[in-house]
Amino acid sequence: MNPRTHRELLCGWVAGVLCLIGGPAHAYTISTQLSNGCHEAIATQALRIVRGELPTAGPLPLTADEQAFVDDLPFKSDNDMKDLGGATFLVSIRDNDLKGRAADDLSSLTEIRRAAGVIGDELDAGHLAPLGGYLGNAGLVLTTTDTRTTDGYETTFGVNVLAHYLLVRLLLHRFVAPAWIVLTTSDTHFGEFRYTIGATPPPRWESPERLAAPRASSIQGGSRAYATSKLATIYLTHALARRLPDGVNTFSYNPALVAGTGLFREAPRPLRTLLSGFFRLQLAFGRGMTPQQAGARLAETLLGGIPGPSGAYLDRGRAVPSSPESYDDVREEELWHEAARLVALQ
């Protein structure tokens, strides 16, 4: 791969952040996190691990224009993120706050279509290597369910479910075997105390049309919408697995409890302080990971050969059963077809 092609791989834009994973499979890591510090830290650490493992994924010398771009960034970054790949990575995560200031916004179906179009054009022109991997590392949790995406859908469901669905569907014919599609989920979908320690209410499944509709709720309703969206992610993974060609596999990935993040930044200060302390206590008891540890585990899973059959639920890299409720062909197919209608796909 020549340097220019590699540079374009590193700075390509796909509805969030694009990160090259070298070797036989090239993976685009998508992250759209409402709060600063959660997926940014996890995915940044994963990028560092990948760069340590694969020489072809390392930073390249900057041109004068590219150096000017990096120098003009309105925030400080670690020295190892000051190349073009690292800089565009951080811009995508830090700027995307779902308030309309970012072009790479997973709350806009128009922007997702634009992203898929850019990727398609770059692939057709030979500027990008064949698509061999996709990591949908996007997710948010809000304190209510009455906010709307650009297209009018409830924000948690719109970003955590519909955005992934549309982007994967638009890129589906672009994957070249052997390839994988990994969607990040959460063990909150179990709805059991041993997984959530009571911090998140269990999911409550309803029709996709109802879940996509903004509605008034309490803080508990916002957290429940998050757990339900992560159950939906597993449903989509199962439905996708039934439709993929040989050699292209899909998995849902649970990073488990990750302490020290800004996931609940939108919560009221007292609740935010309480949750932060709770998460850090779980980390002290060995029940969670730091963002750096979670990123390293994610990179190890992707680089080491993903275990389990297509459609499997990966808990921190191990293929294990997801919740009994997550195995439901009727719900899976209903969600697949309703999502297509909601995002206006044939």
Residues 6+ apart with CB under 8 A from 211: 154, 157, 161, 205, 225, 228, 229, 232
2 pLDDT tier (thresholds 50, 70, 90): very low
pLDDT at 300: 81
Given a cut of 70, whether residue 260 has pLDDT beyond it is no
Per-residue pLDDT tens over the stretch 294-308: 777 877 887 777 888
pLDDT at 282: 61
CA distances from 31 to 76, 89, 103, 183, 250 (A): 20, 9, 13, 11, 18
Cα(8)–Cα(121) distance, rounded to whole angstroms? 13
Higher pLDDT, 226 or 88: 226
64 pLDDT tier (thresholds 50, 70, 90): confident
Structure tokens at 277: 């302390």
pLDDT at 196: 75
Structure tokens at 304: 């080491």
Q: What is the mean pLDDT of residues 58-65?
A: 72
Lowest mean pLDDT across 45-54, 111-120, 189-198: 45-54
pLDDT at 153: 97
Given a cut of 60, whether residue 101 has pLDDT beyond it is no
Sorted by where each starts, the structural domains of the chain and their CATH numbers stand as: 3-342 (3.40.50.720)
Check if the beta carbon of residue 190 is closer than 8 Å to that of residue 137. no
Q: What is the mean pLDDT of residues 269-288?
A: 62
What are the DSSP calls for 285-310, one per residue? TTSSB-HHHHHHHHHHHHHS---S-T
How far is residue 207 CA from its own chain's centroid?
A: 23
Given a cut of 60, whether residue 98 has pLDDT beyond it is no
Per-residue pLDDT tens over the stretch 203-237: 999 999 999 999 998 878 999 999 999 999 999 99
Q: What is the mean pLDDT of the chain?
A: 76
pLDDT at 20: 27
- This prediction's pTM: 0.73
pLDDT at 169: 96
DSSP bridge partners of 29: 135
pLDDT at 79: 79
Q: What is the mean pLDDT of residues 330-337?
A: 98
